[in-house]
Amino acid sequence: MALLQRRLESGGYGYEVVNASASGETTGGALARLPRALERHHPVIVIVELGGNDGLRGLPIADLKNNLESLIELAVQSDARVLLIGMRIPPNYGPAYTNAFHDLYGELAARYELPLVPFFLDGIALDDSLMQDDGIHPNADAQEALLNLVWSKLEPMLTH
């Protein structure tokens, strides 16, 4: 978040970045915490980058969809614009689940007319030098690339 805050400041944008996430977060956990965060911070933009932990736990796609829809709807009802960040998961649960999981983000972006980063780790996930030893999480060297990926969709949402 510090990189994003610096990018915003260097561009003359008057936004404050609030990291309302929690390590290991699921969509269900985020859904329980989001109303308070919206009330407390009154964000102009909400970046929804969730679902990976749900997918790794095999959460049914219908439940993931319901949670993401609720997160989006809560943010929109609070007058925030939403940037949706898509995720992919390893193929452990088979191609039907893996494909439905990834496709869900595009479907939600289209339904709610949201800007979408199709895959948060695009160009990063298959580069061992940018990933932690677990092969799932990006390392410190990947942070600038992650910011650039998100920035491409976030910047058009910003106003000076």
Rounded CA-CA distance 59/146 in Å is 25
Does pLDDT of 40 surpass 90? yes
Residue 61 CB contacts under 8 Å (≥ 6 apart), including other chains: 97, 100, 101, 104
pLDDT for residue 160: 72
Cα separation, 115 vs 151, in Å, equals: 11
For residue 45, name the pLDDT band (cuts at 50, 70, 90). Answer: very high
Which pLDDT score, from 0 to 100, does residue 22 have?
A: 87
Domains within the chain, CATH numbers bracketed: 23-120 (3.40.50.1110)
pLDDT for the residue 49:
96
Beta strands in 51-130 (DSSP E): 81-85, 116-117
DSSP letter, residue 59:
-
Mean pLDDT, the chain, whole residue set: 95
Percentage of the chain modeled with pLDDT above 70: 100
Q: What is the pLDDT of residue 1?
A: 78
